[in-house]
Amino acid sequence: MKTVAVASAGRDLGKTTLACVLIRDMVSSGCRVTAVKARPLGSTGVRVLPGPGREGSDTHRFSVAGASVQALVDFASADALEGFIRCLDPVPDVLLVEGGTAAGILAPDLMIYITGGVSGCERPALEAAADLVIESPPAREAMERARELAAALVNPVTGHGEEAG
């Protein structure tokens, strides 16, 4: 399973829009995608609200984009989030996670970080760890670069492209 994370410096910067573009591309390439909106939870354990959720919600948008499983996951610790991921059944080809705290925990195979938003919400450690940093709203060139990086990641999974072995 490959992991893709989309994180940002704040809300309403284009994370879900970008995630849905990547989901569509990966599903079109033959991947089974599980898409998760992950948020830190103040108490203990993990709370999973399976999708697709109400119309217009992030999980609903993930479903419309083609993710075979969608969920809102509230987690209290790295162990709780990692435990949820270990229990995915069936195991997807790609796990797409939207959320900055989760991205910092998971060490994804591909992380895209969107800058902008409210001053003081920046996450320098995530930005430094990202494979691609783009400005909000994502310009066409930045979206294409994100799509290229995701395609290079999933090509070995699907057997398409030169990287397939």
Q: Single out the residue of 2, 17, 10, 4 nearest to residue 139, CA to CA.
A: 17
> How far apart (Å, rounded) are the C-alpha atoms in residues 59 and 111?
19
162 pLDDT higher than 60 = no
CATH number of 2-155: 3.40.50.300
pLDDT at position 117 is 66
Taking only the tens place, the pLDDT of each residue in 24-59 is 999 999 999 999 999 998 777 899 999 898 999 999
159: left (phi over 0), alpha (psi -120 to 50) or beta: left
The alpha helices in 3-77, defined as continuous H runs, are: 15-28, 58-65
18 confidence band (pLDDT: 50, 70, 90)? very high
In one-letter notation, the amino acid at residue 84 is F
80 pLDDT higher than 60 = yes
> How far apart (Å, rounded) are the C-alpha atoms in residues 81 and 147?
26
Q: Is 8 helix (H, G, I), strand (E, B) or coil?
A: strand
Residue 15 φ/ψ, nearest 5 degrees: -60, -50
141 pLDDT higher than 60 = yes
- pLDDT-above-90 percentage for the chain: 65
Sign of CA dihedral 101, 75, 90, 34: negative
